[in-house]
Amino acid sequence: MEVKIGVQHAPREIVLESGQSAEEVERVVAEALSGKSQLLSLTDDHGRKVLVPADRLAYVELGEPAPRKVGFGAL
């Protein structure tokens, strides 16, 4: 699933492909915004962690669950 994170006072957004479900990402974002945690912590498909301070979040956009395939391939 593609996740885009907007950060206040940052010119570019953070884009990552996460193996987490939309419900899991939404729960983690809600916890960060409610003050239960100081950081928004997500893990991408390569196992890298992305940490964003909760008070700097501008927006979080959840993309489609399965990325579209582009290019040539055998059927």
| Residue 64 one-letter amino acid | E
Query: Whole domain around residue 18: which residue ranges?
Result: 2-63
Residue 68's pLDDT is what?
60
CA distance 75 to 68: 15
Q: Is 46 part of a structural domain of the chain?
A: yes
Three-point CA angle 11, 42, 68, nearest 5° = 80
Q: Is 70 part of a structural domain of the chain?
A: no
pLDDT tens digits, residue range 37-74? 899 999 998 899 999 999 999 999 998 765 566 767 66
Q: Is 75 part of a structural domain of the chain?
A: no
Residue 19's pLDDT is what?
87
Q: Is 28 part of a structural domain of the chain?
A: yes
Number of domains in the chain: 1
Q: Is 72 part of a structural domain of the chain?
A: no
Q: Is 27 part of a structural domain of the chain?
A: yes
Q: Is 18 part of a structural domain of the chain?
A: yes
Per DSSP, helices labelled H in the chain are 22-34
Record the pTM. 0.78
